Amino acid sequence: MRYDPARPAGRLLLTPEDKEAPVRVRRLGQLGLGDRRDPDLDAYADRLAEVTGAPYAMVNFVGEYRQFFAGLHLPAVSPPVVVRPDGTTPVLGRELGRDHGFCPHVVVRRKALVLEDVSDYPRFAGNPVVDEFGVRSYLGAPLIDSTGTALGTVCVLDVAPRPWGRSGLETIKSSAAELVARIERREADGLPLL
């Protein structure tokens, strides 16, 4: 973990150190992923949201300094959960800093992460996405290819606590494995991603 004295009260940044980031960035470049929206991955995120019943779903590729949602599902109508002092509400876009969210933890740990209520976990409750976007629950799994590289994650989240349970964990893990197989098939055969 890194300490940032510029943060209020000397708060710890909870983003884990990621020594594999340079290798990941090179691999994502070889695959042509991680820096642009992909309609096939958007469709994949749409299906993942439908299967899990989550309002938000992402296919997220994690770089050295940022995360990029090449696949993104947002609810048709997103009620403002957080209202800033100036009256505006944050909008989730395609890119977030590496210190936001839970996916960088999944990539570094190389394991699925289930947070049914982030407020139950002090380590995660202080993450900027909790305050900025009102995220309350998260379910994500790493995308680990046959080279052993953790490319990113597939994940779903909600603005309310969610009992994901064992079935949610199995769904997100199998979704990650399925997507990696499709990515590698595309690489080997030149087939469309989905």
Tell me the pLDDT of the chain (194 aa) as tens digits. Answer: 333 334 443 344 467 889 999 999 999 998 989 888 999 999 999 999 999 999 999 999 999 989 999 999 988 766 556 556 676 666 667 888 888 889 999 999 999 999 999 989 887 877 777 777 788 999 999 999 999 999 999 999 998 999 999 999 999 999 999 999 999 998 887 655 54
DSSP alpha helices (H): ranges in the chain? 21-31, 39-52, 103-109, 122-125, 128-133, 165-189
User: Cα separations (Å) of 151 from 23, 70, 106, 116, 183?
Assistant: 9, 12, 11, 24, 11
Measure the CA–CA gap between 186 and 133, rounded to whole angstroms: 34
pLDDT at 1: 35
pLDDT at 28: 93
Give CATH superfamily name and number for 2-76+83-189.
Answer: GAF domain (3.30.450.40)
Instruction: Enumerate residues 6+ apart whose C-beta is below 8 A from 183.
Output: 31, 33, 143, 145, 151, 193
pLDDT at 114: 95
CB–CB of 2/91 below 8 Å? no
| Measured CA angle at 82 (ends 77, 84), to 5 deg | 120
User: Cα separations (Å) of 192 from 66, 116, 186?
Assistant: 26, 34, 6
Tokens matching residue 52: 């899990």
CB–CB of 139/155 below 8 Å? yes
pLDDT at 147: 95
The DSSP output letter for 193 is -
| Measured CA angle at 163 (ends 161, 167), to 5 deg | 145
